[in-house]
């Protein structure tokens, strides 16, 4: 007889204000350089497309980070507190956490993601495979507000380990990245840890190929954000009027994902206002900052972390930091 397992607990901390969200989205689109926040990538379709990107030959971060985790799993595990609360930030399908559960044996897993339906289905599968681990989902835009103090205090003897793989923090400009790291530090208390993956500076041709693959999956991922914006605003962006472009900025050490207008045209932004695009004008959709080990280590210290350990691959394309809070 199969016994039905209880569904994972899901807490929704999002309290969206529709008018404010629309105003913020419009404000970005009406800037001198139009901007769409990268959070709009990650509806259910966007999450599936991103998972496909992670499997591409050109997209080295996923497999390089996985290689580091595999090679140094025992060493990293020994540096982590036992019986921890494993907090997966931006967990997506939880595939990266699944690989760690057999090593770290956490008291419970807390998956945090902005895509609520995708989060719930991922945790149901994870819980079915790991019935000994309590699985909890938090639907949250943790990049703006991260406060898990009440949830973490339910297990006061289990220190949190914040897991933020994939160099996702590279999507933020330095002030925003620093603010997020400080929020993580605040939630760590004195005994928590941060295990975070960082993409390192490398040759431009490798970087640009990773964000403009030959199969066009990243292009589809980027163009899909226009569909999401149309749903949000009732706008009439036509994907055929734009093409995907990934460009490396060597001064800022970052990839910029852009949607470049292929012809002059006007977009109705939901009947409230409109935006005229000249040929060659672009919409900025995402940053992906790259770091040097020393540069990111300095930012961790500025955020309130003390002792740091670093593991890299043989080519030093990617780095995994384990950071402990400063006393």
pLDDT mean for each 10 residues of the chain (327 residues):
66 81 93 94 88 94 95 96 93 87 91 84 89 90 88 94 95 94 95 97 96 97 97 96 97 96 96 93 97 96 95 97 94
User: How far is Cα 95 from Cα 117, in angstroms, rounded to an integer?
Assistant: 16
pLDDT of residue 39: 87
d(CA 53, CA 76): 27
Give the C-alpha separation, 158 to 191, whole Å: 9
The ranges assigned to domains in the chain are: 60-203+290-325
Predicted pLDDT of residue 1: 39
- Return the pLDDT at 327: 82
Domain 60-203+290-325 sits in which CATH superfamily? Vaccinia Virus protein VP39 (3.40.50.150)
Q: What is the pLDDT of residue 188?
A: 95
* pTM of the predicted protein model: 0.91
Q: Are 10 and 116 in contact (CB under 8 A)?
A: yes
- pLDDT attached to residue 80: 95
In the prediction, which pLDDT does 5 show?
58
Cα distance between residue 33 and residue 9, in whole Å: 41
Beta strand 318-325 pairing with 242-249: unpaired
Q: What is the pLDDT of residue 315?
A: 95
pLDDT at 4: 53
């Amino acid at each position: 007889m199969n016994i039905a397992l209880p569904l994972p607990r899901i807490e929704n901390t999002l309290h969206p204000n529709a008018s404010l969200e629309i105003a913020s989205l419009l404000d970005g689109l009406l800037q001198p350089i139009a901007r769409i926040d990268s959070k709009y990538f990650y509806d259910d379709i966007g999450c599936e497309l991103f998972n496909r990107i992670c499997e591409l030959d050109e997209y080295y971060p996923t497999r390089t980070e996985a290689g580091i985790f595999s090679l140094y799993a025992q060493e990293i595990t020994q540096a982590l507190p036992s019986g921890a609360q494993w907090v997966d930030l931006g967990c997506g399908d939880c595939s990266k956490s699944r690989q760690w559960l057999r090593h770290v044996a956490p008291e419970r897993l807390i998956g945090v993601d902005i895509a609520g339906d995708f989060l719930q289905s991922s945790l149901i599968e994870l819980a079915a495979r790991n019935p000994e681990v309590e699985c909890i989902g938090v639907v949250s835009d943790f990049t703006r507000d991260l406060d898990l103090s009440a949830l973490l205090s339910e297990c006061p003897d289990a220190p949190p380990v914040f897991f933020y793989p994939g160099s996702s923090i590279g999507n933020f400009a330095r002030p925003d990245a620093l603010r997020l790291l400080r929020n993580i530090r605040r939630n760590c208390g004195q005994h928590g840890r941060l295990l975070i993956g960082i993409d390192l500076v490398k040759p431009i041709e490798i970087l640009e190929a990773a964000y403009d693959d030959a199969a066009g999956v990243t292009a589809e991922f980027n163009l899909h954000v226009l569909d999401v914006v149309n749903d949000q605003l009732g706008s009439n962006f036509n994907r055929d009027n734009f093409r995907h472009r990934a460009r490396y900025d060597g001064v800022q050490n970052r990839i910029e994902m852009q949607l470049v207008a292929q012809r002059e045209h006007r977009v109705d932004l939901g009947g409230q206002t409109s935006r005229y695009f000249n040929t060659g004008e672009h919409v900025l959709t995402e940053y992906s900052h790259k770091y040097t080990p020393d540069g990111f280590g300095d930012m961790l210290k500025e955020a309130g972390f003390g002792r740091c350990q670093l593991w890299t691959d043989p080519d030093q394309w990617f780095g995994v930091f384990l950071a402990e809070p400063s006393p």
